[in-house]
Amino acid sequence: MQTRHFLPFVLLAILLLSSCKTPKDISYFQDLQPDVKSLSIGPSTNIRIRPKDQISILVNTPDLKLTNLFNLPQASQRIGMQSSTAATNGNGNLSGYTVDSEGFINFPIMGKIKVAGLTREEIADYITRELISRELVKDPVVTVEYMNLHFAVLGEVSRPGRYFISYDNPTLLDALSQAGDLTIQGRRDNILVLREEGGKQVPHRVNLCHTDSLLLSPVYYLQQNDVVYVEPNVMRKRQSTVNGNTVVSTSFWLSLASFFTTIIVLITN
């Protein structure tokens, strides 16, 4: 007879524990084994300059007069200073070159040079060789920095927004880190990355819970203008409706437990 009195409390405990069950899709790299020493990563895709991109080009020489000839006015005031801050913040403190629709920039003295399709290292090497071959400068040091290149992170992250690219080979994990990581309501198993390819937006899906899905993905290394979107999970979608959080609320489970307890008591009596 005493067992019958404990039955409602057992049922209530089971219901409460089931409502607090830990989801299985929260942790990253769930398939990663403890004894793994190294992981394969897809080939890096260096950022290549496109039309409408803006870049800063600084030429350093031992002769200050020659230096000023090859640098835009505001840029020449910052010779010897790091320009990554301006590139990161996009604050326009540096004068730069905007790549035209045909992929060219108009560089001082050298005239129009094509930079579209080149990495920033390739641009710096090309300008260095041209300056030397034309006997304009003997030992120049050319530095190329990004100015308006960026990617966007949207959806269920702590700080959604647009983030400027200041270094080569930014990864998807870098982007999510800058955005403050996913919220607890974000889906880890279906990250969407939209990329401009051949004049179209091409969607790519990445599962952060599966190591190879992330590290071997073609969008593991981000490009300029990529859009990263974190989809809300089922709980978040329910919360967006008027009564959507009723199913997962504590009051719901308590009411349900009370209802079944009453039914059981009536039946047993």
CATH code: domain of residue 193: 3.10.560.10
Burial of 63 (0-12, 13-18, 19+ CB in 10 A): exposed
- Residue 203, beta-bridge partner list: 194
Q: Looking at the structure, tell me whether residues 100 and 177 fall in a common domain.
A: no
Whole-number Å distance between alpha carbons of 146 and 48:
11
Decide if 119 contacts 168 (C-beta within 8 A). yes
The answer to whether residue 177 is domain-embedded is yes
Q: Looking at the structure, tell me whether residues 178 and 205 fall in a common domain.
A: yes
Burial of 262 (0-12, 13-18, 19+ CB in 10 A): exposed
Q: Looking at the structure, tell me whether residues 204 and 156 fall in a common domain.
A: yes
pLDDT score recorded for residue 40: 87
The answer to whether residue 205 is domain-embedded is yes
pLDDT score recorded for residue 102: 96
Q: Looking at the structure, tell me whether residues 165 and 212 fall in a common domain.
A: yes
The answer to whether residue 88 is domain-embedded is yes
- The helix (H) or strand (E) run that includes residue 117 is none
Q: Quote helix, strand, coil % in the chain, to nearest 5.
A: 30, 20, 45
The answer to whether residue 157 is domain-embedded is yes
The whole model's pTM is what?
A: 0.73
pLDDT score recorded for residue 21: 46
Q: Looking at the structure, tell me whether residues 185 and 134 fall in a common domain.
A: no
The answer to whether residue 230 is domain-embedded is yes
| Count of domains for the chain | 2
Whole-number Å distance between alpha carbons of 140 and 142:
6
What letter represents residue 27's amino acid? Answer: S
pLDDT score recorded for residue 253: 62
Whole-number Å distance between alpha carbons of 257 and 68:
79
Residue 160's domain comprises 150-235
How would you write the pLDDT of the chain (269 residues) with one tens digit per residue? 455 555 555 555 555 554 444 456 688 888 888 888 888 898 888 899 999 999 999 999 888 888 888 888 764 444 444 433 333 344 445 578 999 999 999 999 899 999 999 999 999 999 999 999 998 888 899 999 999 999 999 999 999 999 999 999 999 999 999 999 999 999 999 999 999 998 899 999 999 999 999 999 999 999 999 999 999 987 766 666 655 555 555 656 666 666 667 667 666 66
What 3-state class would DSSP assign to 235? helix
The domain boundary, picked from 146, 177, 196, lies at 146
The answer to whether residue 27 is domain-embedded is no
Q: Looking at the structure, tell me whether residues 142 and 59 fall in a common domain.
A: yes
Q: Looking at the structure, tell me whether residues 66 and 131 fall in a common domain.
A: yes
Query: What's the chain's Rg over C-alpha atoms?
Result: 28
Q: Looking at the structure, tell me whether residues 117 and 191 fall in a common domain.
A: no
Q: Which of 264, 186, 238 is nearest to 14 (CA)?
A: 264
pLDDT score recorded for residue 129: 95
Whole-number Å distance between alpha carbons of 41 and 69:
43
Q: Which two tokens stand for residue 105?
A: 């920039």
Q: Looking at the structure, tell me whether residues 229 and 154 fall in a common domain.
A: yes
- The helix (H) or strand (E) run that includes residue 104 is strand 104-107
Which CATH number does the domain housing residue 88 bear? 3.30.1950.10
The domain boundary, picked from 93, 114, 146, lies at 146
pLDDT score recorded for residue 70: 85
What 3-state class would DSSP assign to 184? coil
The answer to whether residue 160 is domain-embedded is yes
